[in-house]
Amino acid sequence: MDIESRIIEMVRRGQNDRVEYLKNMHKLLFPSHLKRIQQNDKTVLKEIVLPQWLDWDLLFCWANEHKTKETGRECILCNNIAENGIDFNEKYICEECFLKLKNKEWFRAEPNVLNIKKQL
């Protein structure tokens, strides 16, 4: 069952306090706890205090509905969001692309790119 059907079931049974608790639960958890719940890490249950009616399945469904936006910046080369990287000429390059450039892997993999650049 998904979170919406569980909430509908709670409303039907008159458990409005539980629905309100679920709506405000994002204020009670740290973002690190939310991320660990989304990764299905059940050891987080030892660190947080939850009501007895809130089981792991409901908590996991709730956490996946409230995904946080990815932190980081967009790489100019691969267009992926990455937290680690460098600014080069006011452009952001992620760590993975930077290492590929540093080790010259792109130039070995794509020799046609070099030929085109030489012709220009």
Q: Write the pLDDT tens digit of every residue in 74-102.
A: 888 888 888 888 888 888 888 888 888 88
- The ranges assigned to domains in the chain are 3-65, 73-119
Q: Write the pLDDT tens digit of every residue in 15-56.
A: 999 999 999 998 888 888 988 998 899 999 999 999 999 999
**pTM score, whole prediction:** 0.56
Torsion of CA 79, 80, 83, 86, to 10 degrees: -30
Q: Is 92 helix (H, G, I), strand (E, B) or coil?
A: strand
Q: d(Cα 27, Cα 70) in Å, to the nearest integer?
A: 19
Give the C-alpha distances (Å, rounded to integers) separating 119 from 12, 52, 61, 111, 116: 71, 70, 55, 13, 5
Higher-confidence residue: 88 or 9? 9
